Amino acid sequence: MKHIFSIFLISASLFSCSKQEGLQNAAPSEFKSEIKSAETGQILDVRTSDEYSKGHIEGAILADISSNLFQEVTAKLDKNKTVFVYCLSGGRSGEAASQLQAMGFKSIVNLSGGILAWQSANLPLSTNEGVSAPSTGMSLADFDKQIAGKKLVIVDYNATWCGPCKQLSPVLEAWVKEQKGKVELIKIDVDENPELAKAKQIESIPYLEFYKDGKLADKQIGMGEAKAMTEKWNQILL
């Protein structure tokens, strides 16, 4: 049962690498190669303006999927030319790709794993002129110090825009509360701690790590059914 549950969580978080009716999900290296020949204005960063200003792929234009800007930008694109799309971890760009397909775009390339995967592959980001470089947040060394000496810890890697993270949070917080102080919950925003996210090669959120006596005991990728998750957490930590 434990093995089946782990497979379910992992498989639910992965993207297909196949082409489906004009849609291709590309790994960072492949995405980088293909955008070299991209037409001007056909690379879309569908994150927020704040995320974009902190670092984006060279040549990408802002097309926030959560605002009217996405519709305004895509209305000016050539539907017969390839459009490239990405976000932080792949969720929003997947939604954007679906909308682009519905609009009639013939060829769409989505960056699997988004900027998190791009950074994990040590590929460069560009910043807008005049915009200060973002804080890298917590380092891996800082993180190790925070975990050291603690008996039972769950680390919740999340982001404010992440829908599944918001669904997981109350389940996680309620379970930790039930443990009456035996388990500590640490929440880490990957947008505010890009250095740590890169060091841990986090490519998808929500992502949980479970520590016992300062050592990593297990991890969880994605969101599952509440009862199954809490039973799994009991097995890991208690």
> What residue numbers bound the domain in which 49 lies?
15-120
Does residue 103 belong to any structural domain of this protein?
Answer: yes
User: Measured between alpha carbons, how far is 113 from 102 in angstroms, rounded to an integer?
Assistant: 22
Nearest to 158 by CA among 148, 146, 145, 171: 171
Q: What pLDDT is recorded for position 9?
A: 43
Q: Which of 65, 165, 188, 221 is catalytic?
A: 165
Does residue 129 belong to any structural domain of this protein?
Answer: no
Q: What pLDDT is recorded for position 135?
A: 57
User: What is the helix (H) or strand (E) element at residue 140, kind and residue range?
Assistant: helix 140-147
Which of 88, 120, 152 is at the close of a domain? Answer: 120
Catalogue the E-assigned strands of 79-132.
Answer: 83-86, 108-111
Which of 63, 85, 120 is at the close of a domain? Answer: 120
The two three-digit tokens of residue 117, written as one number: 């995967």
Q: Are residues 108 and 144 in the same domain?
A: no
Q: Are residues 81 and 150 in the same domain?
A: no
Does residue 172 belong to any structural domain of this protein?
Answer: yes
Q: What is the CATH number of the domain that holds 224?
A: 3.40.30.10
Nearest to 108 by CA among 76, 86, 126: 86
Q: Are residues 152 and 224 in the same domain?
A: yes
Does residue 215 belong to any structural domain of this protein?
Answer: yes
Q: Are residues 155 and 79 in the same domain?
A: no
Does residue 133 belong to any structural domain of this protein?
Answer: no
Q: What is the CATH number of the domain that holds 19?
A: 3.40.250.10
Look up residue 17 and give its DSSP letter: -
Does residue 51 belong to any structural domain of this protein?
Answer: yes
Does residue 125 belong to any structural domain of this protein?
Answer: no
| 162 is known as an active-site residue | yes
Q: What pLDDT is recorded for position 20?
A: 53
- The domain total for the chain is 2
Which of 120, 151, 179 is at the close of a domain? Answer: 120
Length of the chain: 238
In sequence order, what are the residues at sequence separation of 6 or more whose Cβ sits closer than 8 angstroms to the Cβ of residue 209?
A: 154, 155, 157, 216, 218, 219
Does residue 164 belong to any structural domain of this protein?
Answer: yes
Q: Which of 162, 168, 190, 223 is catalytic?
A: 162
b or e along 35-68 (b: 16 or more beta carbons within 10 Å of the residue's beta carbon)? beebeebbbbbbbbeebbbbbbbebbbbbbbeee
Answer whether 190's CB lies under 8 Å from 175's CB. Answer: no
The two three-digit tokens of residue 157, written as one number: 């890697």
pLDDT tens-place values along the chain, 238 residues long: 444 444 334 344 333 333 456 899 999 999 999 998 887 789 999 999 889 998 999 989 999 999 888 988 898 888 989 999 999 999 999 999 999 999 999 999 999 999 999 999 999 999 864 233 345 788 999 999 999 999 999 999 999 889 999 999 999 999 999 999 999 999 999 988 888 999 999 999 999 999 999 999 999 999 999 999 999 999 999 9
In sequence order, what are the residues at sequence separation of 6 or more whose Cβ sits closer than 8 angstroms to the Cβ of residue 116?
A: 88, 89, 190, 197, 198, 202, 203, 204, 205
